[in-house]
Amino acid sequence: MDITYSMYRYNSGDDSTLGFLTLYRQLLCYTCEDEYREHKVMHETRIPAGRYEIKLRPAGGIHPRYAKKFPDIHKGMLWLQDVPNFTWVYIHVGNTDDHSSGCILLGASPVPDKKDGGGSVANSVDAYEKVYPMMADAIENGDRVYIEIVDVA
């Protein structure tokens, strides 16, 4: 079965982007990413909107840290496939765009930045512990899991 999560970017600022993640129109959590740039700047640019398959990657530098931090649920990093001009794009914990290099950060609540737009997310671990098992278990059960990223703002 194919399962598609939808992520809507609704608040884009000078340094970060806020969004929210849904499954079957039900809000799961909020997201934080780097800002939009017409031309990619490494570690400072969000990925393009689009539909990406998510696979588990049980390798790489971040994987052992997550295996230790989340021993009861971790099966590999949530890894977005075939993102144009990007490699190793993950969904993971973090609160601000400084914790991302093009990756998607999950949070239980948004913290908008009224000065420049964008913002950050709070309670990232809580959101990750809610969403990660849903995605990872589906992948392990043979489902194809996707994320559809839509720019609203």
pLDDT, one tens digit per residue, over 98-127 is 999 999 999 999 999 888 888 999 999 999
What's the rounded Cα separation, in Å, for the pair 29 and 93?
A: 12
Note the pLDDT tens digit of each residue in 80-92: 999 999 999 999 9
Indicate the SS3 state at residue 108. coil
Residue-level length of the chain: 153
Quick: pLDDT tens for 39-90. 999 889 999 999 999 999 999 999 999 999 999 999 999 999 999 999 999 9
And the tokens for 133? 């098992």
Which residues are within 8 A (CB) of 88 and not within 5 positions of it... i.e. 6 or more apart?
57, 60, 79
Q: Identify the three-state secondary structure at position 109.
A: strand
Contact 81, 94 (CB under 8 A): no
Please give the model's pTM, rounded to 2 decimal places: 0.96
For the record, the structure tokens of 113 come out as 């930045």
At a CB cut-off of 8 Å and minimum separation 6, what does 115 contact? none
Residue 143 pLDDT class (50, 70, 90 cuts): very high
Whole-angstrom CA distances from 130 to 29, 57, 70, 92, 123 are: 9, 19, 12, 12, 11
Report the candidate in 98, 100, 93, 103 with the shortest Cα–Cα distance to residue 149. 103
